[in-house]
Amino acid sequence: MNTKPFGKTGLYFPSIIFGSSALGNLFQAYSKADKKAILKEAFNRTSPNTVFDTAGKYGAGLALEVLGEFLAEERIPRSNVIITNKLGWTRVPLTTPEPQFEPNIWKGIHHDAVQKISYEGILECFEKDNALLQGYVPQLISLHDPDEFLAKAKTKEERALLWEELIGAITAMKELKEAGKVNGVGVGAKDWKTIREIYSRVPLDYVMVANSLSLIHHPPELMDFLELLRKDNVGIIIAAIFQSGFLTGEDYFDYKKLNSSDPEDQMKIQWRTAFFEVCQKYDVAPFHACIQFSLMVPGVSSVALSVNKPELVEKNILASETSLPKEFWKELKDKSLISDFPYL
């Protein structure tokens, strides 16, 4: 795979990097053998330019554990893998029948997780996550879910206090970079406006924008912000481009199960039906369109894709390397399925 510079980190990224939510049993439990098959295929297809994005939140550390175990067992050279780890959640004992941190999302896991966004909390997450990775230290670290963290505030005063904790967390990450332990510091969030708010106060090396830029949702204000980041040479990763699988036919949208009687969900389903019709007309796989759409945005270095089957590794890479007919994009625009997108 071809690579290009990732912002000011000194690292080079391919167009596709591998998410690891499936390793943490997102929506369903996968066998250890299946997970190892996915990891082996990822390395076979992309080494020595393999990049994994992970987080302590994914399966309450299970994704980190599985990845670390594989790297150690296969004796993958540290120079052959780049790990980006999102910090802010850490594993704790499971004291209830089901995990409480994201009910009904992570399946078959045996730990819970708690959010720890503070100076001390981030350092704790860094050490615990590295232990689960069996000594493979991430080159890049980012603050995970600051939008959810700030949303806990009920008053301006509470939000101000949470901001102090958040700035403390970023300070801890920057100190890890200054100490030479990581190459770069960033932020990963579902609400891109929170990333923009943080960036207005604190310089960042990279960002991960999740659930915010996709074929169905790409607000002009977000395009403007990404252009600012591009000009500032900040690395940009786009994640969750399928909107929890919705754009490829699943029953979830942004981690919530669709309700066919809900008017908003009905509109989404109608949009998808029309989108699928255009895809069928031009013999385009929906996932292929989603990948190409995200990579059109100037400044986007990579798309993070979590795969739950080994064969999807090759398909995703080929989709990133294969452009689609202009007529396909034109029809999506003519049918108002894509709007306010200046790069078509």
pLDDT at 244: 84
Residues in the chain: 344
Taking only the tens place, the pLDDT of each residue in 81-119 is 999 999 999 999 999 988 999 888 899 999 999 999 999
Q: Give the whole-angstrom CA distance, residue 278 versus residue 338.
A: 12
pLDDT at 251: 87
At residue 270 the predicted structure's pLDDT band, cuts being 50, 70 and 90, is very high
Average pLDDT, the chain: 95
DSSP 296: T
Q: DSSP string spanning 129-178?
A: HHHHTTT---SEEEEE-HHHHHTT-SSHHHHHHHHHHHHHHHHHHHHHHH
At residue 223 the predicted structure's pLDDT band, cuts being 50, 70 and 90, is very high
Q: Give the whole-angstrom CA distance, residue 110 versus residue 61.
A: 10
252 with 320: CB under 8 angstroms? Answer: no
Q: Give the whole-angstrom CA distance, residue 302 versus residue 295.
A: 7
> Mean pLDDT, to the nearest integer, of 225-236?
98
Q: Give the whole-angstrom CA distance, residue 94 versus residue 279.
A: 44
What's the one-letter identity of residue 172? A
SS3 57: coil
For residue 1, pLDDT over 80 is answered with no
At residue 297 the predicted structure's pLDDT band, cuts being 50, 70 and 90, is very high
At residue 210 the predicted structure's pLDDT band, cuts being 50, 70 and 90, is very high
**What ranges in 7-145 are assigned the alpha helix state H?**
32-46, 62-74, 119-132
> Mean pLDDT, to the nearest integer, of 54-61?
97
> Mean pLDDT, to the nearest integer, of 262-273?
94
**What ranges in 179-210 are assigned the alpha helix state H?**
192-199
CATH 1.10.10.10 fits 3-257+286-324, yes or no: no
Taking only the tens place, the pLDDT of each residue in 28-38 is 999 999 999 99
At residue 23 the predicted structure's pLDDT band, cuts being 50, 70 and 90, is very high
Q: Give the whole-angstrom CA distance, residue 290 versus residue 292.
A: 6
For residue 193, pLDDT over 90 is answered with yes
